[in-house]
Structure 1
């Protein structure tokens, strides 16, 4: 305890930045740590945020390229959200969802349902994206148990997918490094190919690749048996997998197979929801599908308060209400389900989206994509792809083989380090740089962001050449 006390500032004052870094090294376990540094590392200390910018502990102002973690959609330091948070906490800070309810959660459910496609009219709230996906899967299991189909529980997922960090949701993840040292419910999950056109077999047309993906899905259902498969879970755009935009028509065709085989289609909109693609939900508005469930989180409060949820089809609930087991209980809930503060913040956040942010996103997204695309002029860049205000720069050793730079797996981190020095925070993913700025970003700020990213990549190319890792 003496060591901790020594690091604390004078009584009544908060620790300084240097103290916070040292305290973090000694006592804070960071997300996704390596065994060699777990519980003994500090990461970049961020002190302030304002609009699309954040400021680190050295006073450097940075464009928040990832918008936190795909979530600060309306930007930092929105007084409207801070005030709502305070007002709701002073009115009602918490109520138990087991036998009471609150008004903000009911109003928010109504407004969310109004934006959802098809008959998705009911919301179950969670604390974030992982618990939202977990809830959707547990609901699928409950639904099939009540309907007398206890064997219909397998889950279809895809390579490149990311669906969360809880045990069942993480079992769906399709990025190899996510599972190298972690256990999962492998007996419940079947992995399919990623719908990534950039990584399609050489010489295969986009139409043929789409047919391959659909036939693989159809063949898997036939081989395993539709009576064994309970759900398919898919992101409309694979976010943490590298902003993988599926081929046109692919999602519609997968939806039809699910409908024909009574497989619940769960659209994971934790990233794409609440404005990232210019709409509250992308499933219907962008991709023309009506899932059985949609999961959401992140942008629902623009990251100001932890909140997530699942929107569930009226058809599914009606089937449960008509079942022969009216006393069957969906034994699932969270202490912070329907949290009044989170729901109040989400209501105000939705106001901001509806008033101007969604329209602004739709207007500025084509410029964002076009400017990012200019980075393909750089020889280290294999592809720039994206949709709405989410984009990915994928670096390769050479464009013909699309070798993802196996000689240096830290290319993304190298670029991020240079960009940090120049005034931009990047989301590095091995050989990729992901960008998903706050939705309020202007054209001029997009120019700044892309200009810094171009310089960061150029400096990285120089480093790799000097080290003999890459010839370029």
Structure 2
């Protein structure tokens, strides 16, 4: 039995801790902040980390079941990564990447990524993270068709429940209803297909029927917009932040075939599914039969130790835009001050070397199914609507037993589960009525057992609160 209060708290620095919380409340506007609570003290101040655990400023330890934000692959406190960062910073912290200037780390990393990527993907365009990589991929698709004399072919297909980033364009590409607030979003050339998630445990139709529905809809949408107007389709192999939604088998390859049929570029957003989370450096080809035109990578690329993203581009695309570059202005005018940052690239190189040396992908293929199986044992809890996932990305969906989905009561229930997990020393990611988990890839079976035990106890405690009428 798990003791939900099991943790050692050192209050010796509590005054400093509280001053940090107060300063945060007064000055910081967090990503995805609750604006109704802006200015109210309450942030969790994380001050130390090692392995798969983090500590707050009070010294309380937590098992990090969300991997920072999908990005922590090798675990915290890796001296080899810290040394790679420090050594490169001492040698050359930064120089401009524009034009015909490069650095050794950027060049070496590009070569390594080309070797790891499937198909004819051999060209790398570095960015600062996943959002800027996605935006750069869309711009590359636009450039590709405009260079061929088809500038009208610029519309983009995305999907409901997708998440592709936080910039203006990438938020417009994202299809999570909860994220649509008072900001403006591009709607003229961005189009969203239905969410492709298929859960056989709760679906009333077969996977084959669901696949047929999704493909028929995509064909109809292409016909409505006109294939001659569509530049690309962007898709996460598994929708991560949208709720760890897995399409029916064959969906990824079938949508690629539709794109090929209609001369639409296929962009595989592997910001989350890449770099080992599904047991491979890239999951597109080996898991889903995809040979995309472009792949997006970030997060696990550096194990979260440095911000870095990249668009991996096929020779077909890069050769074409080179050949069609206008003579009077042959400039690829996209990039960022910190594209291919030497310190970030050196970190990524060390990250890849460690992953290969320690066979991290093999470890994920071993423990990933165990993780999902152990989590699925929680489906016998009355407040668990479903458990879904693939290797080290998973989601437990909560409900009160009434209407399913992100209702106010279901979301309050999930927040209560999250609260009890945190009290017991486990960090999960609450989103709507979901508890999302993506632990560091070095997680052990023992730590997986602890995650499931604490989460199970939290679910039991939240169930008691629901029965007592203290939720919603």
**What is residue 180 of structure 1 aligned with on the other side?**
181
- Confirm or deny that 1:203 pairs with 2:201: no
Quick one: distance in 1 between partners of 2:205 and 2:76? 44
| Cα distance between partner residues in 2 of 1:385 and 1:199 | 10
Question: 1:42 offset after TM fit, Å?
Answer: 4.4
Distance 1:458 1:271, change over 3 A: same
- Per the alignment, residue 55 of structure 1 pairs with 55
Query: Quick check: 1:122–1:314 contact (8 Å CA) kept in 2?
Result: yes
Match of 2:336 in 1: 334
| Cα distance change on mapping 1:433 and 1:450 into 2, 3 Å | same
Aligned residue for 1:294?
295
Post-superposition shift, 1:404? 4.4
Whether the 8 Å contact between 1:397 and 1:405 is mirrored in structure 2 is no
- Residue correspondences, number: 456
Q: Deviation digits for residues 63-93 of structure 1, max 9, x if unmatched?
A: 1010000001100000000011000000010
- 1:423 is displaced (CA, Å) by 1.1
What 5-or-longer segments of structure 2 have no aligned partner?
1-14
1:16 corresponds to 2:9: no
SS of the residue 1:392 aligns to? strand
1:387 matched residue in structure 2 = 390
Task: Give how far 1:318 is off.
Answer: 1.4
1:87-236 aligned at under 5 Å gives the runs 87-99=87-99, 100-198=101-199, 203-236=204-237
Q: Distance in 1 between matches of 2:222 and 2:365?
A: 37
- The answer to whether the 8 A contact 2:143-2:321 is kept is no
Matched with 2:377 is 374
Q: Distance in 2 between matches of 1:374 and 1:123?
A: 42
Tell me if 1:461 matches 2:463: yes
After TM superposition, the structure 1 = structure 2 runs for residues 72-91 of structure 1, keeping only pairs within 5 Å, are 72-91=72-91
Could you tell me whether the CA contact under 8 Å between 1:397 and 1:403 is conserved in 2? Answer: no
CA distance in 2, matches of 1:203, 1:361: 32
CA distance in 2, matches of 1:300, 1:314: 22
Contact 1:408–1:469 under 8 Å retained in 2: no
The residue matched to 1:125 in structure 2 has which SS?
Answer: strand
By how many angstroms is 1:19 displaced? 2.2
Label 1:44 to 1:132 Cα distance change in 2 as closer, same or farther (>3 A).
Answer: same
TM-score between both structures, scaled by the size of structure 1: 0.93
Most deviating of 41-50 and 236-245? 41-50
Q: State the partner residue of 1:68.
A: 68
Q: CA deviation at 1:46?
A: 0.6
Query: Cα deviation per residue 1:25-50 (whole Å; 9 max; x = unaligned)?
Result: 11111111233333555411111111
Q: Could you tell me how far apart the structure 2 residues matched to 1:332 and 1:39 are?
A: 37
Q: For residues 355 and 132 of structure 1, do their structure 2 counterparts lie closer, same or farther at Cα, with a shift above 3 Å needed?
A: same
User: 2:423, 2:35 → 1: CA distance?
Assistant: 28
Q: Per the alignment, in what secondary structure is the counterpart of residue 58 of structure 1?
A: coil
Alignment correspondent of 2:45: 45
User: Helix, strand or coil for the counterpart of 1:142?
Assistant: helix
Question: How far apart are the structure 2 equivalents of 1:403 and 1:28?
Answer: 31
Is the alpha carbon distance of 1:17 and 1:409 closer, same or farther for their aligned partners in structure 2, counting shifts above 3 Å? Answer: same
Query: Where does 1:423-462 land on structure 2 (aligned, <5 Å)?
Result: 423-462=425-464
Change (3 A) 1:249 1:199: closer
CA distance in 1, matches of 2:454, 2:425: 7
- C-alpha distance 201-22 of structure 1, shift in aligned 2 (>3 A): closer
CA distance in 1, matches of 2:97, 2:405: 51
- In the other structure, the counterpart of 1:318 is 319
Does the 8 Å CA contact 1:30/1:41 hold for their aligned counterparts? no
Q: Deviation at 1:236?
A: 0.6
CA distance in 1 between partners of 2:282 and 2:306 (Å): 20
CA distance in 2, matches of 1:201, 1:359: 31
* Distance in 1 (alpha carbons) for counterparts of 2:165 and 2:200: 23
Q: Is the contact made by 1:419 and 1:426 (CA closer than 8 Å) also made in structure 2?
A: yes
What TM-score do you get using the length of structure 2 for normalisation? 0.93
Q: Which residue number in structure 2 is paired with residue 282 of structure 1?
A: 283
- Partners of 1:114 and 1:395 in 2: CA distance: 42
Q: Distance in 1 between matches of 2:286 and 2:458?
A: 35
Once the two structures are superposed, what CA deviation does each residue of 1:347-391 show, in whole Å capped at 9, x if it has no partner?
000011111211111111111111011010101111111112110
Contact residue 110 and residue 123 of structure 2 kept, 8 A: yes
Compute the RMSD of aligned alpha carbons.
1.9
Residues 372 and 390 in structure 2, CA contact (< 8 A), matched pair in contact too: yes
Q: Is the 8 A contact 1:293 1:313 kept in 2?
A: yes
Asked if the contact 1:30/1:39 (under 8 Å) is kept, the reply is no
C-alpha deviation, 1:95, in angstroms: 0.7
Q: 1:3 is matched with which residue?
A: none
State the Cα distance separating 1:189 from its structure 2 match.
0.7
Cα deviations across residues 375-421 of structure 1 (Å, max 9, x unaligned)? 1010111111111211000112338x635444342322211110011
* Matched ranges for 1:334-373 at <5 A: 334-356=336-358, 357-373=360-376
